[in-house]
Structure 1
Amino acid sequence: MNPAEEVPAVEGATAPGPGGAAVEPPSTPFTQVRERYAELVELITKYRAAYYNDDAPLVSDAEFDVLYSELEQLEALHPELVTNDSPTQVVGGDVSVAFAAVDHLARMYSLEDVFSLEELEAWLLKAAASVEKQHGTPPKWLTELKIDGLAVNLLYRDGVLVRAATRGDGTTGEDITHNVATIKDIPQRLHGSGFPSEVEIRGEVFIASKDFTALNEQMVAAGKAPYANPRNTAAGSLRQKDPAETAKRPLRMYVHGIGAREGLETATQSETYAQLKDWGMPTSPYFKVLDTLAEVLEFIAHYGEHRHDLIHEIDGIVVKVDDLATQRALGNTSRVPRWSVAYKYPPEEVHTKLLDIRVNVGRTGRVTPYAVMTPVKVAGSTVEMATLHNQDVVKAKGVLIGDTVVLRKAGDVIPEIVGPVVALRTGEEREFVMPTHCPSCGTELAPAKEGDIDIRCPNARSCPAQLTERVAHLAGRGGFDIEALGYEAAAALTNGPGPDPAENGGAIAPAGPGPLVSEAEVFNIAQLDLSGVLVWREIRSKGEGTGRFQQVPYFYTKATAKKPSVPTKTTEKLFEELEKAKSQPLWRVLVALSIRHVGPTASRALATAFGSMDGIRAASEEALANVDGVGPIIAEALIEWFGVDWHRDIVDAWAAAGVRMQDEVDESTPRTLEGLTIVVTGTLPNFSRDEAKEAIITRGGKASGSVSKNTSYVVAGENAGTKLDKAESLGLKVLDEDGFVQLLAEGPAGEPAEGPAGP
């Protein structure tokens, strides 16, 4: 009897009801388990086929991993459910009928995946114990990057490439020899000598990150939708029926193993890699043989931090027992080797629903579409909105409102919609239509000048949305740094509450104007009547949103029968911070004015060169352009900005309110860094990034954001990252914080006698 049938007879059976009619019995716990198991098998089989055979995934890797993990847990609890065709018992996908089926000489296995460092530690400790029991010594771990590509098996006979195949189901793959022959990395004939008469060499075909970016730029320029990700693009390229089409794609390959290997005399995996490299095979530069678990964890942490600086995309780290005899002794399960494991990083790419595409009006009037999505966790944070840049990008990505979309968020990078999952469309999706009039003030939208892709609201002075953005910007960390004046407070000041969000799909649509009608009056907020400023707040029940909203006072407390409405503590803090902000240095005032192209770097340079707002206003375009770090584009923007009367009114109103418009010249500060270019990277305990830059500039140095051969010094703190790596590769002088303080005080003459030290 099939073990899956050994369940109580009552389960799934029917019993006679009144009049002899069959009646379904109540659902039992085991019935529910069996139904969920069948559902998981069906879903995973479908998703795996879409991924491996069609190169068109229906769910993200992270979602697939969750389902697969649930299936493994169910099978562990209920082994009687497991059948030979369970997804946990087979490798990869099926073989497509579009290509000839070919058998591998030695089976290709999948890898066991773990998703936490705790799971990885448990796996490694168990494997190490097994190895020590057999051999008396702990194993060495070959640790390498898990390339996000397509597994390929290359068969060489007498050193000549005779066949290339996909992994398929592990035993049988698809013959893609003619397509693989177009990949320049792969030699048609092995170099040197000493290779077996017949050898299978295995690896991953991929598209390098920079090549994928260039490929998508070409697609968009040609009016076509960009590809979703490098892995599926590489897989689709290898499955082109015409090899000439494959040759157009920038495919590459790194090899990482051998299947059939009779006659190959190597003792370890790392020796095998060296042999493969000698034969002219492309091997990865990203691997190390490590002795301890701590070293493996350090390797994982390093590449988790630097994964976006690599040649190709990765989704994890592979750890293998280096010794080949030990690999053979440990053996394999029906699906995975017992001597290797893959640790997968937290997902950076997920699928979610695109609920709507709306537009935002920025502080310069630029109208930007953005996506509103079902909230989803990716790269450690919950994301529900992502920019779509402009209407051409929306069109190029091919997304429709209602699509399931691929969302990517790399670390701290702004979340990006990669593209739609076309296979999941229902026909109810609709196209996004760019508005013709400003959603905030109703002004007709137009490009700033002929040929511009972006469209803008030309009503710069009175558009409530633009005013909101400018007020939020001037209060930001690069401007006056007014903590109590965040975006929500800026919106409350400049926009009255719009319609009930419950009647607007949950979107809070402002309807201006508010009590603050110009940033010129921002330092007079305490004189405005803020008691009637209301905002929409969602009503919550037991910590959850209800979808219903109510209007509440923003700057004042709610009046009761016993207590009148008074300013909140946050509002009182806002008034205090506005007073403190008046003494900020000149460069911050310049940033706060929202002059196009004028950011912190240019503002510091201007403040240092001219010393006062009057000096900058009186300067000619030529004089402005000659300032190091300014140039002709910023100079032109400054002349244009000060040429507008209401712009000048802002400066005059701030000055009248007591905002400092001239830096105090501290003659005691020595010009120790005259002519030096210094880059600060990482975290310094006693300097914020702005404080470090200011210390450099006030001493005559140039604070740069990028490392080059012209950099004089690099100051490196904690988590210095790639800038430190580049500085070391160029042989530049690297200082820690103590060295930086000494340099500020004494200049190059005070450099430590033994040379600078890195962290």
Structure 2
Amino acid sequence: MTDAAPSAQSAAKRIAQLRSELDEHNYRYHVLDEPSIPDAEYDRLYHELKALEAEHPELITPDSPTQRVGSLALSAFGEVRHEVPMLSLGNAFEEGDLLDFDRRVREGLDLPAGDHSGDLFAEGVDVEYSCEPKLDGLAVSLLYERGQLVRGATRGDGSTGEDISANVRTIRNIPLRLHGSGWPEVLEVRGEVFMSKAGFEALNARQAESGGKTFANPRNAAAGSLRQLDPKITASRPLELCAYGIGRVEGELPQTHIGILQALKGWGLPISRELKLAKGAQQCLDYYRAIGERRETLPYEIDGVVFKVNSLASQRELGFRAREPRWAIAHKFPAMEELTELLAVEFQVGRTGAVTPVARLQPVKVAGVTVSNATLHNMDEVARLGLMVGDTVIIRRAGDVIPQVVQVVRERRPADARAVQVPEQCPVCGSRVERTQLVKRSKGRETLSEGAVYRCVGRLACAAQLKQAIIHFVSRRAMDIEGLGEKSVEQLVDEGLVRSPADLYSLTFEQIVGLEGFAELSSNNLLAAIADSRTPSLARFIYALGIPDVGEETAKLLARALGSLARIQRALPEVLTYLPDVGLEVAHEIRNFFADGHNQQVIRDLLARGIALQEEGELGAEFAACATLEGLLDKLNIAGIAATGARKLAEKGGSLDGVIALSQDWLELSVMKGLNEKAKQALREHFAVPANVERARTIEAQLREFGMHWQSERKAVEGLPLAGQTWVLTGSLEVMSRDVAKDKLESLGAKVAGSVSAKTTCVVAGPGAGSKLAKAQELGLRVLDEAEFLAELSRLG
């Protein structure tokens, strides 16, 4: 237990850091087309986060990069809502990863094991997979109605993309009208827009000759070319499309993935010339190795191979996990490595004050791209590598972007190599830099340890933190102040016009119009956007404050359950943990944020300058009804007393005062059944400390004040109609997507599970339902077809 405690706490801190880094890299890669790390490094961070969340599922939040795809669309283009989300793929890096994927597919389809053991008499059935290279470009959606191209869009965040219709029309291998006949009435084609190696070299030669900007790699060139506001520029660039799938369809299509791609080819849409069918994992691995050997001779850049279950019926049965399909995987090629010298380590400051080391490298060309820097994440990573300035290091890259430092070549260390030192003062504002302390809270004790992150204590007095805080505050999902991009925010901070989010609401026309990029119209537009943001919902406002570990979904949860800013500000950590998916560590982050005097002043200033919160109201009905005496006793973290012991104590004591009195009545406690001697002693010792008694009574007093106490008068308000129920979706749905169906069920309080068990309340079975339907029937569970499901949703409002 002693060894595990720091590990779990370190995981929580590492998860928070990884999410912050991945969100920033997602924004730069998907929105700005200015990637700051290599795909190999992003993949490492992503899979480290995924592995940590798998080990600690209680720390998963809806706003985690693993639950979600990509980033937001730019406002310069119109928005397009994808009726069928454009999902990302899971990744395989080793042969074992692909074999595990094949095993999961086979288990999901209830297929017997294949003949991988050498048994000639095994009755395994190999799954058929489509195989094609993974192009490195920009994912797009092309909508055809009655054979006519009517819209083009980027993937964006997977749910909402950018309308680039005018630009995709300039790409020569995209048909403006489908060829032949027999295509569906509505057909959404999905593919990758890319630039060939030859086209990329020719473009860069023209750019250099004309004095224009050259591109780092074909992916950047393709993305930048496709997302030009002037379609004439796009038309001048050597872009190509390769179709790889479909989205929304109204009409008939073949029932295999390869069959669909062949149909698209017949209608004039380009598909991969390397498309192949493989039977079983071994043939997939053979294809992967063959393409890998020919990688350098291909006319375009690829970073792996995509394998998809060929049967559409099987795809529907397998369904999705989080934001990725269970029936497809991208098998990435090994990262490329080179040697170079570490010239220096500099430190950057982020929104939360984290002081992050950045490696400055002797420029070196890796797979055609010159790289000169890499993130080092934190000082624990520097220590793990044993890194010193002057060292020769191995850097690794994949995805044709920037490398990571993976190893020090110690035998080449020069005599004058210098240790990497964390600055004592912030490199931006000069404030003190402190190492974070990790607090592990477990039954009966708190354990302190040193964290991996160093922070500048300057907060909003630090220009770096202030800029990032303002950028987050004005972002679309926060206060949604259009016209305040990164450069504008930097100007406002650098000019001393904004020293706090509240200062945005004191800006004048005269102050703005003098800034670079602002004229009379844009200045008035910005002031109007700031004025329009004065009435945010409570949830948006909470999210905009940038509370550590509180993403958009947690902010919504806080607003819906607690109902007012005043309650959220005052809520004790133990009360906050009554919220689903809010653990004690996040609860302490929330409490510490609102207990901070500086943060309190910022909130007071915002409200004083006209922020009027909307959608404030009563405590959420279900939240109000969730507290019990046994729950409170469990949350006090008394050593040896878990849920069962807490229930026994609640029954015996009858009230908190009764339990406290019982803890000091050794004779009465000694004959009590349901608690062992160690737990009884821990109870006695806990309430023998006056501070613990006071803490328990303080929590109970807040439960009374909020109307959550078990003796409070319950309001006659029903909870969500499907609360406590577990539903399963299987097969295909025709009226709505399964993602939409899941959202509707969850909004009604149901949990949507991926497998059928005796605890399942109801199964919704569409066409193509397989083993899950069979199991539901075997267990005698309630089963609805789509029409009955829609009727049920209608009945529930």
What is the TM-score with the length of structure 1 in the denominator? Answer: 0.45
Higher helix content, 1 or 2: 2
Larger Rg: 1
Structure showing greater relative contact order (alpha-carbon pairs closer than 8 Å, 6 or more residues apart)? 2
What is the TM-score with the length of structure 2 in the denominator? Answer: 0.43
